[in-house]
Structure 1
Amino acid sequence: MLQRLRESKSLQGTLLATPAMLWMIVLLIVPLILIVITSFGRRDPDGNVIYTFTLDNYVRLAGATEECQTLGDFLSGAVQAVVNPAAPTCFNSLYADILLRSLWLALMTTIATIVLGYPLAYYVARAPAKRRNLLLFMILIPLWTNFVIRVYAWMRILRTFDLLYTPEAVLIGMIYEFIPFMILPMYTSLEKIDPALYEAAADLGANSLRTFLRVTLPLSLPGVVAGTLLVFVPVMGTFVVSDILGGRQYVLVGNLIQRQFLDARDPTFGSAASIILMGMTLIVMIIYTRKFGLGEEVVVT
């Protein structure tokens, strides 16, 4: 009888999970497979995809030009481009610069949202219940407005300070758009900290700084890690902020992919850039989560 109940519950769980699995397969796995296949194809003069197997799109992304006959030529050209950028080589750093620029902006945005968001998350977590709800409401209000409208609102502000169409404008826009996604996970971790731990630290003679370093910071790290994932990943692929506040001059990987699909009508190269973007993001996130942990139990010492 017990075995039948277990089998029945297992069947019910499978049936309940089936719609979600189908949703994942149709809207995530199948498109990803199509992007991978397209990235190895060629583009005909009309913009249609010729499905074949070639690494030309990835070679182009790496910066190799037609003058690079061997791998040695490519590597020496890349080194020469770093040592003496003005010297002619077979290495074209255009796409490498875009990839590094996107990575740098994502890192700066993530760090800035942590630095600016942590004190606010801490203040909200320690505030009385009535004030806490009001503060959370104020943090969430911008998310009720369309993403693009919020970016356009910043155009007027940045134009006043002559910052519009600059890298700084793009960074400010990114921080504003994504800081709520950093604050909320950190607030959740900070709010869960038992107040008795602070009392115990005070009884043991710890000052405010020592209490923060030994109690608050370690216990809030899961929220910091979760917030980093919610900020870094979308910043790596976004293109709206840089398009509007950067004036189409500050090109990121997201802008490159968008223009390849919509303007250049080259889905093969755009797909290859998408795969590289996903690979870069995945590598950084794996390194980060292994370094700081995700969902691991934190021990206070």
Structure 2
Amino acid sequence: MSKAKYAALPYLVWMVVFTIIPMLLILVFAFTTPDGGFTIKNISDVGKYTDVIMKSIWLAAIATAVCLLLGYPLAYILSRQSARSQQIGLMLIMLPMWMSFLLRTFAWMTLLEKTGVINRVLGMIGLGPFELINTSGAVVLGMVYNYLPFMILPLHSIMVKIDHSVIEAAQDLGAGSMKVFSKVVLPLSMPGISSGITMVFVPAVSTFIISKMLGGGSNLMIGDLIDMQFLGNAYNPHLGSAISLVLMVIVLLCMSVMNQFDDSEEMEGMLI
């Protein structure tokens, strides 16, 4: 066995133990009964939670769209700065991620509750109190706050490679700001957009801490259902595995669509 194969062995062991075996266990549990018999009832029972699944996809899509709208201009502006300014900007973007995910979500609970900071400030000017927490909007806000860096970082890594002389050449040829954006900047940044969408949508659609803490019991998501089946009073790992399998299919479909989009962009670039 070559040295390269020996070097790859720990990674192969890690993948088998922590990825392949757990996925096989989920597959087995999803199609078996508690006594070990084969069944598809677990999969069919997932249909009872179609509304929760659709709501999870919808909220994750909204959060992803908001992250794109906020992250795209920020990533572009940051990519046009000096190297020193980019380092400081990226550090500030990553700074909240140095704290616990749970702690950051607790902070938003303090801000959004009826006696929280936001309602107190609004009360000083005669507004409120508003029902900010335990709403779908609070869930989307929590997802945007926690996952926005996952949109900005891949966008920045692509935009920083866009040669400014290309933009200047388009401007010299008479292209206006919108034309330069639609014909130059946007096409060249599409790999970052597709990567950012995938990196935000996948964790957003499977989140459960954010929806549990900021959304209350009326805003369940797929992650909450899985958590309830494995750790809640309604302990049913077989149904939980079936829901997990459906979630994996959704994630794989999302990644497949974005990969196809990447391939089409690459082909278009080759033709040009």
Give the root-mean-square deviation of aligned CA atoms.
Answer: 1.8
Equivalence for 1:27? 18
Partner Cα distance (2:90, 2:14) in 1 = 32
Q: Does residue 211 of structure 1 match 2:180?
A: yes
From 32, 35, 45, the counterpart of 1:50: 35
Equivalence for 2:81? 127
Cα distance, 1:177–1:21 mapped onto 2, change above 3 Å: same
Kept in 2, the 8 Å contact 1:57–1:268? The answer is yes
Equivalence for 1:117? 71
User: Where do residues 29-108 of structure 1 align in structure 2 (5 Å cutoff)?
Assistant: 29-42=20-33, 49-63=34-48, 95-108=49-62
Cα distance, 1:294–1:252 mapped onto 2, change above 3 Å: farther
Kept in 2, the 8 Å contact 1:126–1:191? The answer is yes
Kept in 2, the 8 Å contact 1:155–1:164? The answer is yes
From 209, 218, 231, the counterpart of 1:240: 209
Q: Does residue 254 of structure 1 match 2:223?
A: yes
Cα distance, 1:298–1:184 mapped onto 2, change above 3 Å: farther
Paired positions, count: 255
Q: Residue type of the partner of 1:185?
A: P
The percentage of counterpart residues that share the same residue type is 39
Kept in 2, the 8 Å contact 1:117–1:183? The answer is yes
Deviation, 1:148, is: 0.6
Larger Rg: 1
Measured against aligned partners, the alpha-carbon deviations of 1:272-297 in whole angstroms (never above 9, x if no partner) come to 00001111221132123213448837
SS of 1:197 mapped into structure 2: helix
Please give the TM-score of this superposition, normalised by the length of structure 1. Answer: 0.81
Measured against aligned partners, the alpha-carbon deviations of 1:252-279 in whole angstroms (never above 9, x if no partner) come to 0100000001111110000000001111
Partner Cα distance (2:106, 2:32) in 1 = 37
Q: Mark the runs of 5 or more structure 1 residues left unpaired by the alignment.
A: 1-9, 43-48, 64-94
Kept in 2, the 8 Å contact 1:222–1:294? The answer is no
Partner Cα distance (1:196, 1:120) in 2 = 21
Q: Mark the runs of 5 or more structure 2 residues left unpaired by the alignment.
A: 114-118, 120-129
From 271, 291, 297, the counterpart of 2:241: 271
User: Where do residues 223-234 of structure 1 align in structure 2 (5 Å cutoff)?
Assistant: 223-234=192-203
Partner Cα distance (1:113, 1:150) in 2 = 17
Deviation, 1:181, is: 0.4
Deviation, 1:235, is: 1.1
Q: Residue type of the partner of 2:102?
A: V
SS of 1:192 mapped into structure 2: coil
Equivalence for 1:178? 147
Cα distance, 1:130–1:154 mapped onto 2, change above 3 Å: same
Q: Does residue 197 of structure 1 match 2:166?
A: yes
Q: Does residue 148 of structure 1 match 2:102?
A: yes
Please give the TM-score of this superposition, normalised by the length of structure 2. Answer: 0.89
Cα distance, 1:297–1:291 mapped onto 2, change above 3 Å: closer
Kept in 2, the 8 Å contact 1:102–1:252? The answer is yes
Q: Residue type of the partner of 1:166?
A: T
Measured against aligned partners, the alpha-carbon deviations of 1:11-57 in whole angstroms (never above 9, x if no partner) come to 12211111111110110000100111011122xxxxxx322200111
